[in-house]
Amino acid sequence: MRRLPRLVRPFSTAPSAPITPRPSPPKSHLHFAPESNALPRGYALAGVYAGVKKKPTDPNAQPPPDLTLVVSTTPAPAAAAAVFTRNAFRAAPVRVCEAVLEEGGARVRGIVANSGCANAVTGKQGDEDAWAMVKATDALFKPLESSPSPSSTAPSSMVLSTGVIGVPLPATRILDAIRAQHPSAPNTQLASTPEAWVAAARGIMTTDTFPKLRARTFEMGGKTYRIAGMDKGAGMIHPDMGSPQPSTFKGTPFLGQASAGPAPPKGAHATLLGLILTDAPVAPKALQSALEYAIARSFNTISVDGAESTNDTVILLANGAGALESPPTLATLTAALEIQGQAGESDAKGLDTTVTTSGAASAGAIGEVENVVEITEEGDPAAFKAFRDALTGIAGDLAQLVVRDGEGATKFVEVKVKGAATFEDANLIARAISTSALVKTALYGEDANWGRILSATGSVAARLSTPIDPSRVSVTFTSNPTSSSTPPSPSSPRFTPSVTPSELASKPPVSSSTPGAQFRDAQGKIKDLEVLQGGEPIGFSEEHAKVLLGEEDFGIVLDLGVGSEEGRCWTCDFSYEYVRINGDYRS
């Protein structure tokens, strides 16, 4: 009898050292409530419980917010810009938002977002439910007693949803919760306080472990403006967002009856949602240009699990209130609504002022005084760049928070690809490394497995503009990459920490007794570890690798050696906890 050759050599699956499951590191130090003077003027927010998520089993526990409202309190809508998922199964709120931007001329008054149900792949009823949320939010800007015709004006509110895919939205509960937040209602929770911002950030959370908020000020045209944002996301994170697509809705959008929806869905699912607000006066076209620039350098460079959501959306509003001597508040908006109810919108005194757009004839009103100038990219390039830089910075802060809160994540890793022929090549390789399950599990195991990095790099070779020359490639593990999401100083005027100063204390100084002290420099920074140079493996200390990869933050630098372009991606590891989280509920 002919024997078959042995096809598989003997091997052992036992690791060189047992890996003990470990929890994600504490993240309380990342939670900050911005101070009032850091928040953009002319906005009111709320985070309330609508009944989308299940109530806690403990009758004494407060149900978590699952509905977020954002309102520009300026008399006329704010300039708006947005980017959306390019997933083929784009959710109803994504497509409705695109229609709102198109029909309203990129002018938006409010935003409504629910968590706990994605309203994705929900058919015609899902579209009608999303439009019903827009209509209900628009009604907040009308007198309480008015009943405007559904098609009387263009929609001026955008809608977001996050949660379980394929489950009908419990729209009647959501609509009731929206109506209860009318500015004139006695129990409205709309406010401009830091607490309202935190509640709004909590209202969009799903598997997130903390509300994600950042704020900063910036100078533009000799004046100080404010920009702040919130986002959510911990799983199903691999954004590839782009410009709004042409509306797929024809005719009057407010049709149909909202669905009651099923019982609250099991589990809480994730996607990437971001809301960024500024009180700077920026024209819609310039706003969209700045947002796309910032997204390409922030949210579109992150990956938790390589899964692009059906609902990924980032919205940016600019209401120009920072250019006003007396910024509008919720009280002035309420007074304006009362005037509208008495005299009609077109006759409301002081509400029809015009705002000039730099480099253009005019634009829609965003304030109650004249001579407010909305900047444009062509009309004032210096001011535009100042705004774009501030936006890119805060978008980077928010994007990194998502990775740091990745489901089960214990590591934050910056993957940098340099020496590429084009930015596109560098970015493609960085994304491939960041989404490799083998790389990410090695990161969890604190294993400097550079072979997996090269394997991921080579997997996209056919899509590169220039061939990879293996003899030129180098790989280095780096310590403490630059991170704009590290906690601000407790003395920073922009933030009020929600943790005690002791929790923010710096690490103790390095001494000879510090673990891995021989691999640190005089300042205590762990020395970089080169493992491949010019295609040749370099012998390295496994102890050095364990110390470096044992840190919560580190980096991977891959040098292709064929050009001068660079790309970067922020990612995390895959842990036992990630598998548990995603095995416990329906995706």
* DSSP character string of 327-360: ---HHHHHHHHHHHHHH-GGG-TT----BEETTS
CA 61 to chain CA centroid, Å, is: 28
Categorize the per-residue pLDDT at 481 as very low, low, confident or very high, splitting at 50, 70 and 90.
Answer: low
Does 449 belong to an annotated binding site? no
Give per-residue burial for 332-354: e unless 16+ CB within 10 Å, then b: bbbebbebbbeeebeebeebeeb
131 sits in which H/E element: helix 123-138
Task: Tell me the residue type at 372.
Answer: V
The predicted pLDDT at position 16 comes to: 56
- Better-scored residue on pLDDT, 265 or 282: 282
- Better-scored residue on pLDDT, 61 or 232: 232
Q: Nearest CA to 95 among 317, 286, 313, 309?
A: 313
Is 466 in contact with 1 (CB distance < 8 Å)? no
**SS3 readout for 467-485:** CCCHHHCEEEEEECCCCCC
Tens digit of each residue's pLDDT (9 = 90 or more) over 111-146: 999 999 999 999 999 999 999 999 999 999 876 444
Task: Tell me the residue type at 391.
Answer: L
Categorize the per-residue pLDDT at 336 as very low, low, confident or very high, splitting at 50, 70 and 90.
Answer: confident
Long-range own/partner contacts, residues 466-470 (CB < 8 A, 24 or more apart): 466/420, 466/421, 466/422, 466/425, 466/562, 466/563, 468/560, 468/562, 469/560, 469/561, 469/562, 470/535
* DSSP character string of 488-516: PPTT-TTEEESS-GGGGPPPPPP-TTSTT
Number of Cβ within a 10 Å radius of residue 273: 26
The two tokens of residue 460 are 């996209």
Assign residue 432 a region: left if phi > 0, alpha if psi is -120 to 50, beta otherwise? alpha
- Better-scored residue on pLDDT, 365 or 71: 71
Task: Please state, in angstroms and rounded to a whole number, the distance separating the CA atoms of residues 491 and 504.
Answer: 11
Lowest mean pLDDT among 259-273, 386-400, 560-574: 259-273
Phi first, then psi: give them for residue 571, nearest 5 degrees: -145, -175
Give burial (CB, 10 Å; 0-12/13-18/19+) of 448. buried
Can you tell me whether residue 124 is helix, strand or coil?
A: helix
Confirm whether 271 is a catalytic residue.
yes
Categorize the per-residue pLDDT at 23 as very low, low, confident or very high, splitting at 50, 70 and 90.
Answer: confident
Average pLDDT, stretch 513-517?
72
What share of the chain has pLDDT > 90, as a percent? Answer: 68
The predicted pLDDT at position 362 comes to: 34
Residue at token pair 């891995």: 516
What share of the chain has pLDDT > 70, as a percent? Answer: 80
Cβ partners under 8 Å of residue 365, min gap 6: 75, 76, 351, 352, 353, 354, 355
The predicted pLDDT at position 148 comes to: 43
The two tokens of residue 174 are 């959501």
Tens digit of each residue's pLDDT (9 = 90 or more) over 178-228: 999 998 888 999 999 999 999 999 999 999 999 999 999 999 999 999 999
Q: Using the predicted structure, report yes or no on whether residue 44 has a pLDDT greater than 90.
A: yes
- Among residues 271, 278, 457, 478, the one annotated as catalytic is 271
Angle, alpha carbons 444-398-295 (nearest 5°):
105
Does 582 belong to an annotated binding site? yes
Task: Please state, in angstroms and rounded to a whole number, the distance separating the CA atoms of residues 508 and 541.
Answer: 25
Does 357 belong to an annotated binding site? no
The two tokens of residue 425 are 């090549």
Categorize the per-residue pLDDT at 585 as very low, low, confident or very high, splitting at 50, 70 and 90.
Answer: low
Categorize the per-residue pLDDT at 325 as very low, low, confident or very high, splitting at 50, 70 and 90.
Answer: confident
Sign of CA dihedral 302, 536, 424, 86: negative
Categorize the per-residue pLDDT at 503 as very low, low, confident or very high, splitting at 50, 70 and 90.
Answer: very low
CATH number for the 40-401 domain, one of 3.30.930.10, 3.20.20.70, 3.40.1010.10, 3.60.70.12? 3.60.70.12
The predicted pLDDT at position 4 comes to: 46
Give burial (CB, 10 Å; 0-12/13-18/19+) of 257. exposed
Q: Nearest CA to 50 among 133, 182, 170, 132?
A: 170
- Better-scored residue on pLDDT, 486 or 163: 163
Average pLDDT of the chain? 85
Does 271 belong to an annotated binding site? yes
Lowest mean pLDDT among 375-379, 412-416, 523-527: 523-527
Average pLDDT, stretch 255-271?
57
CATH class of 409-501+510-583: alpha beta
Tens digit of each residue's pLDDT (9 = 90 or more) over 412-454: 999 999 999 999 999 999 999 999 999 999 999 999 999 999 9
Give the residue extent of every domain in the chain.
40-401, 409-501+510-583
